[in-house]
Structure 1
Amino acid sequence: MLKTTLLFVATALAEIIGCFLPYLWLRKGGSILLLIPAAASLALFVWLLTLHPAASGRVYAAYGGVYVATALLWLRYVDGVKLSVYDWVGAGVALLGMAIIVWGWRGN
């Protein structure tokens, strides 16, 4: 479970970075050269999703829970926004959903 979760966190960071860099270019006046590492980060994101042994739909569903929690941590530590108790509870619920789905991989 820990290995899967860490892989999902790496996957989420690759996706978030791959989307954040074009945002910097389009909305914050960043260099168009940001699209190069953005594309590489999104390619890494896709590759990381293929490393799981479960069917793709299950991987995407479980990944979603980790993505939610990782995105909220990004919001806190990169964007500097203080998270509410609702953010933390929502992240916990999302991670619980991921854990239930991943636990079910054992039976299939």
Structure 2
Amino acid sequence: MKDEDIERCVISVNQAIILFILAGIAEIGGGYLIWQWLREDKPWWFGILGAIVLVVYGVIPTFQKFPSFGRVYAAYGGVFILLAILWGWGIDKKTPDVYDWIGALMCLIGVTVILWAPRH
């Protein structure tokens, strides 16, 4: 493999990871705002802002370079699980236990297999 091919591959992987993280933050953040509005009696504009953020979340995955919608969303699901655990830890102050971390690791292994397994 040539150096420029390796560099292109690294850029592609980094771009995919960044887009997954952005999508996850948007989905979790939008859902959280709506949760706050409906369950925690926050003002109505929390719900409107949450809905806008969720629309943005719907657009972000379209920037992925992978050709398959299903594959992108399947892989994103694994990233989402890790981000949800981190959100709960950082925002809701719910400390993940060892099983949360093991489950998240298993999901990330699945993401790697789904996206980068050699296919013919």
- Bigger radius of gyration among the two: 2
Q: Tell whether the 8 Å contact from 2:34 to 2:51 is kept in structure 1 after alignment.
A: no
CA displacement at 1:2 relative to structure 2: 2.3
Are residues 1:86 and 2:90 paired?
no
Are residues 1:71 and 2:88 paired?
no
Structure 1 unaligned regions, length at least 5: none
Q: What is the aligned partner in structure 1 of residue 37 from structure 2?
A: 25
2-structure distance, mates of 1:45, 1:93: 24
**Structure-to-structure mapping, 1:31-42, within 5 angstroms:** 31-42=43-54
Moved more, 23-32 or 95-104: 95-104
Amino acid at match of 2:16: T
Q: Please, what TM-score do these two structures have when normalized by structure 2?
A: 0.83
Q: Tell whether the 8 Å contact from 2:89 to 2:96 is kept in structure 1 after alignment.
A: yes
Count matched residues: 107
State the Cα RMSD in Å.
Answer: 1.3
Q: What is the aligned partner in structure 1 of residue 24 from structure 2?
A: 12
Structure 2 unaligned regions, length at least 5: 1-12
Secondary structure of the residue that 1:50 maps to in structure 2? helix
Q: What is the aligned partner in structure 1 of residue 109 from structure 2?
A: 96
Task: Name the structure, 1 or 2, with higher relative contact order (CA <8 Å, separation 6+).
Answer: 1
1-structure distance, mates of 2:101, 2:69: 27
* Identical-pair percentage: 36
